[in-house]
A and B are shown apart, each in its own frame.
Chain A
Amino acid sequence: MIFTSVKFLVFITAVVSIYFIFPKKYRWIWLLASSYFFYLSASVKYGIFLVFSTVVTYTAALLIEKVSESIDVSLLPKEQKKQARQILDKRKKIITAIAIVINFGVLFALKYYNFTVENISAIADTFGLKFSPALLNVLLPVGISFYTFQVIGYIIDVYRGINKAERNFFKYALFVSYFPQIMQGPIGRFSELSKTLYTGHAFDYERFTFALQRMLLGFFEKLVIADRLAIAVDTVWPDYQSYGKFEILLIGVFYAIQIYADFAGYMDIALGASQIMGIRLSENFKAPYFSASIPEFWRRWHITLGSWFRDYLFYPVMRSGWCTALGKKLKGIIGKKASSKATTVIALLCVWFFTGMWHGANWTYIMWGVYYGVLIILSTLFAPLFDSFVQKHSINRDNPVYKSLQILKTFILVCIGYIFFRSDTLSQAFGIIGRILNFSTPLTSPAGIGIDRADIIAAAVFVLLLIIIDIFRAYDIDIREIIAKKNIVLRWAIYFIMLFAVIIFGIYGPGYTSSSFIYFQF
């Protein structure tokens, strides 16, 4: 059930209406039933994996807590305390590790097994060896990359003592399956989501209108902007050899806007739908294209994935015994500062390799991830050099011109990254880069880009609107509060214009079938 389908509109209307009729205490049960209906309507088979993941992590979390409570450390004499803590920690670590291995194991088998086997057999082939094991023929359950990360985050948080294990199995099942976030995130944290997920919230008119506005904005971003630009992107990208430099560069920018409007649009619908019922999901975007640097971009783009990798991979790697030991070893050879940089570089490459891979079993995604890893490593290594340059030439970092140039630089780097992200194969990505750089490529080409002049002008106007909305978002100003203060005529005029813009300018095509969101495939 895709958010932009009529089915979903019927579904959400029914869910919300019945939610507020249900006794407050049991509203979460209704949400659980609705969430499973939502998920299973995609395919009943997928449900098996979801239930399995839920059962494994629910049980593991309880076991971790049971181990913690098996010895009361505070009663022990001081000298035994440390030893007891170590024993307990070791046991908890084993349970956590088993739960992680099982969950990642399922994800690996379904998403990466074929890719790994194909690559190994290709390598074997170059050495003249025959290696051709059977490939798996299963479809990837939707949302598995998202909910697997969510449950692993939960288990690690229980292990770290950040939150307690949920004792009610069905409440925990709701945390894993909650319908606005199961397909594409945001990847939730139990400590945050549980604050609002289980309480029966009273109906609040202002919250209701704010939530609807947010959903409407999401539909606008997806149907009017993303799906319109998608037509041009899908026309030019696979056939890039027929186009000139100008069209290719334009399509690169189109794709950057498309993927943002697509993903952020989804988030606005998800967070809006959840907000109607008073349940707060984590924000996933904060005007990312206004970032002045790549590290900043990643603090504003797909925020819940970035913070997941930070808390559950980057920090543990950096704090791990072997990383500290390596740092100490290198310290004697290359000095303190350089050794700390060296270990950071290793951890970053690891994080960005997996960030790329998370998006899919394809070298294009891995290349895209490593590309960011390298950019961030370079920006870390050269930061002191750059700082002294800025100081020497007394450049004012708050100067709007300087800031704008930084934003432009970041946007261009992000667009280069998308060449790998959007291409089907690495050779296509390098083909596109080659065509842009090649002197003999014509500047323009007579081939059409799939949308006509009127559509391009419409897109430009709508994108401008999106930029204005994002300026407000960048400064943490809620446009809805401003609209709410306007008089009733103006307020409703704005709603109707938005609604009609979605109805009239949305891309529906003949016999409209809702087009899938980009992040569905991950």
Chain B
Amino acid sequence: MDRAEIFERLNNVFRDVFDDDSITVSDNTTASDIDGWDSLMHITLISAVEDEFDMKFDMKSVVAMKNVGDMADIIEKEA
């Protein structure tokens, strides 16, 4: 799976989870860029991404990922 495809699918997940069709994520997107991305939504988002890519994040990734780029790196490696 190439990165462009990952981001395309991530966009769909984000739009669905945050209920906002205008969201487009990039490597540098962080929680402060997206309205409502707090610790509660973080868990919902993580589960939705896991379902989409059929993979699992470990706790280190859940806690330590700094931006969507980090998330995409893990997906690239795991999925």
- Say whether A associates with B: yes
What residues of chain A have their CB less than 8 Å away from a CB belonging to chain B? 160-162, 295, 299, 310-311, 314-316, 318-319, 340, 344, 348, 380
- With both beta carbons as reference points, the residue of chain A lying nearest to B35 in the complex is identified as A397
B5 CB contacts on chain A under 8 angstroms? none
- With both beta carbons as reference points, the residue of chain A lying nearest to B38 in the complex is identified as A295
Expressed in whole angstroms, the Cα–Cα distance for A340 and B44 within the complex equals: 8
Query: Once the chains bind, are A380 and B63 in contact (CB under 8 Å)?
Result: no
Is B1 an interface residue when CB atoms closer than 8 A count as contact?
no
Query: Using a Cβ–Cβ cut-off of 8 Å, how many residues does chain B contribute to the interface with A?
Result: 13
CB distance from B38 to the nearest CB of A (A): 6
Ordered by A's residue number, 20 sampled pairs between the chains whose C-beta atoms are within 8 Å are A160-B58, A160-B59, A160-B60, A160-B63, A162-B60, A162-B63, A162-B64, A295-B40, A299-B38, A311-B63, A315-B39, A315-B59, A315-B62, A315-B63, A316-B59, A319-B59, A319-B62, A340-B44, A348-B40, A380-B40
Q: In the complex, which of the residues A160, A162, A310, A319 contacts B39, with contact meaning CB atoms closer than 8 Å?
A: A310
- With both beta carbons as reference points, the residue of chain A lying nearest to B46 in the complex is identified as A319
- With both beta carbons as reference points, the residue of chain A lying nearest to B63 in the complex is identified as A311
Is B79 an interface residue when CB atoms closer than 8 A count as contact?
no
CB distance from A38 to the nearest CB of B (A): 31
CB distance from A327 to the nearest CB of B (A): 9
Is B55 an interface residue when CB atoms closer than 8 A count as contact?
no
Is B34 an interface residue when CB atoms closer than 8 A count as contact?
no
Expressed in whole angstroms, the Cα–Cα distance for A319 and B62 within the complex equals: 10
- With both beta carbons as reference points, the residue of chain B lying nearest to A340 in the complex is identified as B44
A310 CB contacts on chain B under 8 angstroms? 39
- With both beta carbons as reference points, the residue of chain B lying nearest to A191 in the complex is identified as B64
Query: Once the chains bind, are A315 and B43 in contact (CB under 8 Å)?
Result: yes
Within 8 A of A (CB), among B45-68: 46-47, 58-60, 62-64
A348 CB contacts on chain B under 8 angstroms? 40
> 7 tightest A-B contacts by CB?
A160-B60, A318-B43, A310-B39, A160-B59, A311-B63, A161-B60, A162-B60
Q: In the complex, which of the residues A160, A161, A295, A319 contacts B43, with contact meaning CB atoms closer than 8 Å?
A: A319
B64 CB contacts on chain A under 8 angstroms? 162
Interface of B is mostly: helix
- With both beta carbons as reference points, the residue of chain A lying nearest to B39 in the complex is identified as A310
CB distance from B28 to the nearest CB of A (A): 19
Expressed in whole angstroms, the Cα–Cα distance for A344 and B38 within the complex equals: 13
Expressed in whole angstroms, the Cα–Cα distance for A318 and B59 within the complex equals: 11
- With both beta carbons as reference points, the residue of chain A lying nearest to B36 in the complex is identified as A383
B38 CB contacts on chain A under 8 angstroms? 295, 299
CB distance from A373 to the nearest CB of B (A): 12
B40 CB contacts on chain A under 8 angstroms? 295, 344, 348, 380
Expressed in whole angstroms, the Cα–Cα distance for A295 and B47 within the complex equals: 21
Expressed in whole angstroms, the Cα–Cα distance for A235 and B64 within the complex equals: 47
Which of B44, B46, B63 neighbours the largest number of chain A CB atoms within 10 Å of its CB?
A: B63
- With both beta carbons as reference points, the residue of chain B lying nearest to A307 in the complex is identified as B39
Expressed in whole angstroms, the Cα–Cα distance for A318 and B40 within the complex equals: 9
A314 CB contacts on chain B under 8 angstroms? 39
Expressed in whole angstroms, the Cα–Cα distance for A162 and B63 within the complex equals: 9
Expressed in whole angstroms, the Cα–Cα distance for A315 and B62 within the complex equals: 8
**Known interface pairs A162-B63, A315-B39; 9 further A-B residue pairs with C-beta atoms within 8 A, sorted by A's residue number:** A160-B58, A160-B60, A160-B63, A162-B64, A311-B63, A315-B59, A344-B40, A344-B43, A348-B40
B44 CB contacts on chain A under 8 angstroms? 340
B46 CB contacts on chain A under 8 angstroms? 319
Q: Per-residue 0/1 for B23-38: is the Cβ within 8 Å of any A Cβ (1 yes, 0 no)?
A: 0000000000000001
Expressed in whole angstroms, the Cα–Cα distance for A314 and B40 within the complex equals: 9
- With both beta carbons as reference points, the residue of chain A lying nearest to B43 in the complex is identified as A318
Expressed in whole angstroms, the Cα–Cα distance for A193 and B63 within the complex equals: 17
Expressed in whole angstroms, the Cα–Cα distance for A12 and B55 within the complex equals: 52
Expressed in whole angstroms, the Cα–Cα distance for A30 and B39 within the complex equals: 39
Expressed in whole angstroms, the Cα–Cα distance for A242 and B43 within the complex equals: 49
B47 CB contacts on chain A under 8 angstroms? 340
CB distance from B43 to the nearest CB of A (A): 5
